Structure 1
Amino acid sequence: MDYPASSWIVLAAAEEETHNPILPIWSEVILALIVFAIVFLVVRRFVVPNFEKAYAERTQAIEGGLAAAETKQAEADAKLAELEQRLSEARHEAARIREEAREQGAAIVAEMREQAQTEASRIVENGKTQIEAERQQAVTSLRAEVGTLAASLAGRIVGESLDDDERSNRVVERFLADLETLDTASSGPANGDGTGR
């Protein structure tokens, strides 16, 4: 029997109305399976590889970033340890330099004190030598003057000239010896006659 196309639609609608809702419509199930298979194959063939590629790239980027971060962290830790070691060495070096400077300062102070003591001793010795030389010069000069005065005075007292050098020297020596005994004795004032007797 030949039914027109419009009757097929009516028949299909009639079948649907009489169809049990609990049982599936096999044509729809098969159609759904075919569409699902086509979608599954398209997704599997085109979408999933792109997702997997993107996932692999993302995973690789994350792992690479983590590895790079770990490498950078290790480098930073190594640099920090090196800087701490250098800082420690610099502190030790600074302490050593300070100690050396302190020791050198103490040595310089001790050396300067020693030089000052040596210089002071030298100056004192030079002063003593100079004073002794000036004293000897003064004594010699005074002996000569006193000798001349004593000879002149003795000549006036005695009433004769003491031009003879030997006699003059004996008189001067005796006069100076008398003066020295008077100075050491200092028991009383000297007589006013100038002879000390």
Structure 2
Amino acid sequence: MNALAALASQERQEPLLLPTPEVVVQLLALLVVLGLLARSLLPRINRALTERRAAVEDGISEARSARTEAEQALELNRSLLAEAGHEAARLRQEATDQGFATIAAMREQGARQRDSLVAAGRVQVEADRRASVETLRRELGTVVTDLAGQLAAESLEDQARQSRVIDRFIGGLEDKAAKSR
């Protein structure tokens, strides 16, 4: 019991401290285990970390290049959109200009047709007026000849005589009309 009592008395005095030989053995065992782990496991861990770091860096590099490509595509799309807008504005302006040109051409054509119709109408009116004047001269000549023949008691049946009398009479009427204007 002596040994037990001595052990118990030692335990009471230093309950947290382990015996020194045991501590040394445990430390040596720990160092051996850590050495083995460092020798076999540490290279694997370092290799895995290196591979992971390389994969992350590659991903970042790819993301940067994808971002650069996306920015370039976005810029290209913006420039294409702006160009399409300019083209649409140009086409609208061109269509507007063509519309105005067509309207101007149609107005000009209408004015030419109007002028042509007016000129043709004037020619027709002038022709109708001449025909009317000629018809009036003949009818008036006939009436005047008959009247003159009755008044002068002279027959004006001769065509040449009739024409001279009609021309003198109409000339006198035209002179009176010109003076009254």
TM-score (norm 1): 0.74
Letter of the structure 1 residue corresponding to residue 37 of structure 2: V
The correspondence for 1:91, drawn from 85, 92, 95, is 85
Asked if 1:143 corresponds to 2:133, the answer is no
SS of 2:83's partner is helix
Q: Distance in 1 between matches of 2:90 and 2:179?
A: 70
Q: Distance in 2 between matches of 1:166 and 1:24?
A: 174
1:6 corresponds in structure 2 to none
Q: Shift of residue 62 of structure 1?
A: 1.7
CA deviations 1:83-119 (Å, max 9, x no partner) are 1111221222223223323333333333233222222
Q: Which deviates more, 81-90 or 24-33?
A: 24-33
2:58 corresponds in structure 1 to 64
Question: What are the ranges of 5 or more consecutive residues in structure 2 without an aligned counterpart?
Answer: none
SS of 2:108's partner is helix
Asked if 1:181 corresponds to 2:154, the answer is no
CA deviations 1:51-88 (Å, max 9, x no partner) are 22332232123212211211111011000110111122
Q: Shift of residue 137 of structure 1?
A: 1.0
Q: Shift of residue 139 of structure 1?
A: 1.0
Letter of the structure 2 residue corresponding to residue 130 of structure 1: Q
The correspondence for 1:38, drawn from 32, 42, 48, is 32
Q: Distance in 1 between matches of 2:153 and 2:122?
A: 44
Asked if 1:50 corresponds to 2:44, the answer is yes
The correspondence for 1:102, drawn from 96, 99, 107, is 96
The correspondence for 2:108, drawn from 114, 124, 131, is 114
Q: Which structure has the greater CA radius of gyration? A: 1
Letter of the structure 1 residue corresponding to residue 57 of structure 2: E
Q: Percent identity?
A: 38
Q: Distance in 1 between matches of 2:132 and 2:160?
A: 23
SS of 2:155's partner is coil
Q: Shift of residue 50 of structure 1?
A: 3.4
Letter of the structure 1 residue corresponding to residue 71 of structure 2: D
SS of 2:157's partner is coil
Q: Distance in 1 between matches of 2:99 and 2:105?
A: 10
Between Structure 1 and Structure 2, the one with more helix by share is 2
Letter of the structure 2 residue corresponding to residue 138 of structure 1: S
Q: Which deviates more, 172-181 or 105-114?
A: 105-114
1:191 corresponds in structure 2 to none
**Count of aligned residue pairs for this structure pair:** 174
Question: Taking structure 1 as reference, are residues 168 and 27 closer, same or farther at Cα in structure 2, changes over 3 Å only?
Answer: same
Larger RCO, structure (CA 8 Å, separation 6 or more): 2
Q: Shift of residue 152 of structure 1?
A: 1.8
Question: What are the ranges of 5 or more consecutive residues in structure 1 without an aligned counterpart?
Answer: 1-9, 188-197
TM-score (norm 2): 0.80
Q: Distance in 2 between matches of 1:116 and 1:157?
A: 58
Counterparts of residues 142-161 of structure 1 (less than 5 Å) = 142-161=136-155
Question: Taking structure 1 as reference, are residues 185 and 17 closer, same or farther at Cα in structure 2, changes over 3 Å only?
Answer: closer
